[in-house]
Amino acid sequence: MAELAFDGERSVAERARRAALLAFAWCVVCFLLAPNVIVVGMSFSRGSTLEFPPQGFSLRWYQRYLETPGWIEATATSLLVGVATAALSVAIGGLAAYALARGRFRGRELGQALILLPIIVPHLVVAIALYRLFSGLGLTGTYAGFVLAHTMLATPFVVTIMVPTIRSIDPALEHAAIGLGAGRLQTLRRVTIPLALPGIVSSALFAFLVSFDELLVAMFLSGPFVATLPKKLWDGVRLEIEPTLAAVSTLLIVLTLAILMAAALARMWGSARSASRERAARES
């Protein structure tokens, strides 16, 4: 009886501990989401100032965003630079990840550390260095400068995603293709890339998101005619406080959530493909 009572007290204490941990986790989630909820609410305000709770409901600030050429040009610039950055960083980072995952050479760990360096070094240091370099090359205020800078920032994320993706592919499949007469490039194109497609999609989405949301480097590289949406948003915060800023921020939140959901679906698709391949291998 004493043991049963002790077990009952322990289970009650365990349930109380789990409930307290769950409550703390939800408090943290609410604390992180509260600013976004406030921004979204202000974007639908009928008033002319940033205030919460909003005065009525209106879509006038979204209409103002669509009718202002400066906002549309900055959005188009961010989209163009983001797509180009995603393509270039996936090409560079994918090849680097393949070398790190499949290669056996000296300095592999050092090479991986150097590739991840842009994540470790403070962005302010990176921004100053890029400005100094690109100003001498005439790349400040240009699309090429933005793409190159954002590619340097996004490539480490691509490598981080692609290395485990490539390592999860059975090397025997590549060896079998080579044994059947396929060359290295043909094996890479017809075997490795299709199998690594979920990781490629995820890394491309993250690279696009890194480029689209980047502000600090954009502040140094922007020119009078070429500026990204985060830079335009920062200028609006400094010069004109109005609910249009909240509307643009809401659109950025929605885009970020959509890209993160798409990346998660790509990873789930990759896991499902791996599970189906393993099941087919066991059945055969």
| Closest C-alpha to 141, from 230, 82, 86, 77 | 77
- Tell whether 224 is covered by a domain: yes
Residue 87 is predicted with a pLDDT of 92
Residue 147 structural domain: 69-232
Residue 94 is predicted with a pLDDT of 87
How far apart (Å, rounded) are the C-alpha atoms in residues 187 and 178? Answer: 7
Q: What is the largest CA-CA distance in the chain?
A: 83
Does residue 233 surpass a pLDDT of 60? Answer: yes
Whether the predicted model's global pTM rises above the 0.85 cut: no
Residue-wise pLDDT tens digits, 174-231: 777 777 777 777 777 777 778 888 888 888 988 998 888 888 888 888 877 788 888 8
CB 198 within 8 A of CB 273: yes
Residue range 256-277: average pLDDT? 74
- Tell whether 4 is covered by a domain: no
- Tell whether 27 is covered by a domain: no
| Closest C-alpha to 229, from 77, 124, 81, 83 | 77
> Number of folded domains in the chain?
1
Residue 80 is predicted with a pLDDT of 92
- Tell whether 280 is covered by a domain: no
CB 156 within 8 A of CB 116: yes
C-alpha distance from residue 2 to each of 7, 12, 13, 14, 118 (Å)? 9, 15, 17, 18, 60
Q: What's the CATH number where 132 sits?
A: 1.10.3720.10
- Tell whether 181 is covered by a domain: yes
C-alpha distance from residue 45 to each of 31, 165, 233, 241 (Å)? 22, 45, 18, 14
Secondary structure of the chain in HEC code, one letter for each residue: CHHHHHHHHHHHHHHHHHHHHHHHHHHHHHHHHHHHHHHHHHHCCCCCCCCCCCCCCCCHHHHHHHHCHHHHHHHHHHHHHHHHHHHHHHHHHHHHHHHHHHCCCCCHHHHHHHHCHHHHCCHHHHHHHHHHHHHHHCCCCCHHHHHHHHHHHHHHHHHHHHHHHHHCCCHHHHHHHHHCCCCHHHHHHHHHHHHCHHHHHHHHHHHHHHHHHCCHHHHHHCCCCCCCHHHHHHHHHHHCCCHHHHHHHHHHHHHHHHHHHHHHHHHHHHHHHHHHHHHHHHHC
Does residue 99 surpass a pLDDT of 90? Answer: no
- Tell whether 284 is covered by a domain: no
| Closest C-alpha to 147, from 73, 96, 214, 71 | 214
- Tell whether 13 is covered by a domain: no
* Mean pLDDT rounded to a whole number for the chain: 80
Residue-wise pLDDT tens digits, 26-78: 888 888 777 777 777 777 777 777 667 777 777 877 888 888 888 888 888 88
- Tell whether 21 is covered by a domain: no
